[in-house]
Amino acid sequence: MQFHERIRRELDDLRTLDRYRALPDISARNGKEIVFNGQNLLNLSSNDYLGLGDDKPMLTGYIRSFSERDYAMTSSSSRLLTGNHPLYDRLEQALARLYGREAALVFNSGYHANIGMLPALSGRHDLVLSDRLNHASIIDGMKIAEAPWQRYRHRDYDHLEELLAGAADRYRQTFIVTESVFSMDGDLADLVRLVALKEKYGAFLIVDEAHGAGVFGERGLGLCERAGVVQQIDIITGTFGKALASTGAYAVMNSLVREYLLNTMRSVIFTTALPPVILGWSLVTLAKQSAMQHEREALLRLAARLRDALLERGVDVPGESHIVPVITGGNDLAVALAAKLKGAGFLCMAVRPPTVPEKSARIRISLRSTLQWEDIARIPEIIG
Ligand X SMILES: Cc1ncc(COP(=O)(O)O)c(C=O)c1O
**Least separation in angstroms between CB 374 and ligand X:** 29
Nearer to ligand X, 234 or 375 (CB): 234
306 in helix, strand or coil? helix
Q: Within its chain, how far is the Cα of 46 from the centroid?
A: 12
**Least separation in angstroms between CB 112 and ligand X:** 7
267 touching ligand X, by CB under 6 A: no
Closest CA to 15 of 332, 356, 348, 333: 332
179 touching ligand X, by CB under 6 A: yes
Residue nearest to ligand X as judged by C-beta position = 110
Q: Which stretch binds ligand X (CB under 6 A): 81-89, 103-111, 152-160, 355-363?
A: 103-111
Are 290 and 219 within 8 A, CB to CB? yes
109 touching ligand X, by CB under 6 A: yes
Tell me the pairing of strands 174-179 and 204-208.
parallel
53, 113, 207 from 48: Cα distances, Å: 6, 20, 20
Tell me the pairing of strands 39-43 and 346-347.
parallel
Q: Which stretch binds ligand X (CB under 6 A): 34-42, 64-72, 104-112, 312-320?
A: 104-112
185 touching ligand X, by CB under 6 A: no
**Least separation in angstroms between CB 114 and ligand X:** 5
CB atoms within 10 A of CB 46: 17
114 touching ligand X, by CB under 6 A: yes
Calpha distance 205→175 (Å, rounded): 6
Are 204 and 248 within 8 A, CB to CB? no
249 touching ligand X, by CB under 6 A: yes
DSSP string for 113-138: HHHHHHHHH--TT-EEEEETT--HHH
Nearer to ligand X, 139 or 315 (CB): 139
Q: Which stretch binds ligand X (CB under 6 A): 61-69, 107-115, 251-259, 315-323?
A: 107-115
Residues in 191-230 that interact with ligand X by CB under 6 A: 208, 210-211
Site for ligand X (CB under 6 A): which residue of 51, 212, 222, 241? 241
Site for ligand X (CB under 6 A): which residue of 43, 122, 130, 137? 137
CB atoms within 10 A of CB 185: 23
Q: Which stretch binds ligand X (CB under 6 A): 13-21, 110-118, 159-167, 261-269?
A: 110-118
Residues that bind ligand X (CB under 6 A): 109-111, 114, 135, 137, 179, 183, 208, 210-211, 239, 241, 249
